[in-house]
Amino acid sequence: MIRAIEWVDAGADSHIRLIDQTLLPAEETFLEVGEVAQLIDAIQRLAVRGAPALGAAGGYGVALALLEGSRSGWSAEEVDAAIASIANARPTAVNLAWGAGRAGRFRAEGFERVLAEAHAIAAEDERANRELSRLGADWLLDRIGHRPLRAITHCNTGALATAAWGTAYGILHELHDRGMLELVYADETRPLLQGTRLTSWELHRDGIPHLVQVDGAASSTILRGLVDFAVIGADRITADGDTANKVGSVALALACQRRGIPFVVAAPHSTVDPGTATGDLIEIEERGDEEVLAFGGVTVATPGVRAFNPAFDVTPHDLISAIVTERGVVEPGSQPQPLFRADSETVAA
């Protein structure tokens, strides 16, 4: 199985190993990350990405900060600053700060205890992904019918985006394993082509029939009746069930509502942020102009033109048919608000 993130235990030289997702599918290259600055760079340039994988990166990042701090003679304040810089490396995905916060609670107990918690985060994510995939596949087959289904998905939510297995992709994989998946339309996903480069790569490896399409075709594909459902991941789920995901997601939700087919969001429960009431309060990361105005390192826009490059958009809960986590399935349009309480328990499941 693909492992997007792993801890390599090598004594004083222990480090994080990442598959460099910026080079896929042309190269399968691993990054050996032994310093906090290297990890932050990998997170910000999307060498490691996906909310669940970022949760594991946050946990392992705390262990890395303690190790580097011990090696370099950092003060407690410098270690704190390093951990905070990891937690804040990308603002929209709640899992990164969640993972760093969870592992960081055990700092006083030492490096080994922090590392054990980071390992627990990664192991729990794989178990959660497999369970939510089973629940999501069951829900879809019950709702649509027990027959091979046609799907559309956006961005990358497979093993590359998680500690293992996948979230929205995991549901597709589960349906495929049951013989209940006919075809997947994978959106290319602008501006870094995560669908073309990563989702298609995983689908091909897993032997799942699929077509890659430009993002601008997605709504028409749905409205023409070419798919039976849409399934995407999430980087943050608010208390009322609004979800943030890679920009372009909300267009699929609108088209699904018009067509009358399910629009499903799948994520581990760690992605739920009950402290944020609605999607209006989510900070949307904006990235550099060059990701939009250049292709393959060559500028394609008129010199001096600026770009608007939000990395995410927010899908309102009333456009979402189901939110699937390992704890159950909630249907935001027909269940009480808020869906999620501050104690992290699901109100309806």
C-alpha distances out from residue 345 to 60, 84, 146, 233, 340, Å: 26, 27, 31, 20, 6
Annotated binding-site residue numbers: 49-51, 90, 194, 245-246
Please write the tens of the pLDDT for every residue from 80-109: 999 999 999 998 878 999 999 999 999 999
What is the SS3 assignment for 257-300? HHHCCCEEEECCHHHEECCCCCHHHCCCCECCCHHHHEECCEEC
Find the helix packing angle between 36-44 and 76-87, rounded to 10°: 10
CA nearest to 71, candidates 40, 118, 111, 31 = 111
Provide the edge-to-edge strand list for the sheet that holds 5-8: 5-8, 15-19, 30-33
Angle at 111 between CA 7 and CA 166, to 5 degrees: 35
Q: Where in the chain is the domain with CATH 3.40.50.10470?
A: 133-330
pLDDT at 347: 43
In the chain, ranges of CATH 1.20.120.420 domains: 5-124
Q: Tell me which fold the domain 133-330 belongs to.
A: Rossmann fold (3.40.50)
The answer to whether 334 and 348 have CB atoms below 8 angstroms apart is no
Alpha-carbon gap, residue 317 to 223, rounded angstroms: 20
CA distances 195 to 16, 210, 211, 286, 346, Å, are: 25, 11, 10, 19, 31
Q: Residue ranges of the chain with pLDDT lower than 70? A: 343-349
What is the identity of the amino acid at 49? R
What residues are designated binding site for substrate? 49-51, 90, 194, 245-246
Q: Residues for the chain: how many in total?
A: 349
For the question of residue 235 being annotated catalytic, the response is yes
pLDDT attached to residue 296: 84
Task: Select which of 187, 215, 228, 235 is catalytic.
Answer: 235
Three-state SS for 40-91 is HHHHHCCCCCCHHHHHHHHHHHHHHHHHHHHHHCCCHHHHHHHHHHHHCCCC
Enter the DSSP assignment of 165.
Answer: S
Q: How far is residue 150's CA from residue 172's CA, in Å, rounded to a whole number? A: 10
All residues at 6 or more sequence positions from 219 whose CB lies less than 8 Å from its CB, including other chains: 251, 252, 254, 255
Can you give the pLDDT at residue 348? Answer: 42
pLDDT the model gives residue 210: 98
Q: What pLDDT, on a 0 to 100 scale, did the predictor assign at position 137?
A: 98
- C-alpha to C-alpha distances, 11 to 63, 68, 69, 129, 217, nearest whole angstrom: 12, 12, 14, 31, 51
Which tokens sit at 109?
A: 């107990």
Contact by Cβ (8 Å): 148, 186: no
Decide if 35 contacts 74 (C-beta within 8 A).
no
Closest listed residue to residue 215, CA positions, set 257, 184, 247, 168: 247
Render pLDDT for 22-69 as a digit per residue (tens, 0 to 9).
999 999 999 999 999 999 999 999 999 998 999 999 999 999 999 999
Residue type, 164: A
Which one is the CATH code of 5-124: 1.20.120.420, 1.10.340.30, 3.30.420.130, 3.40.50.300?
1.20.120.420
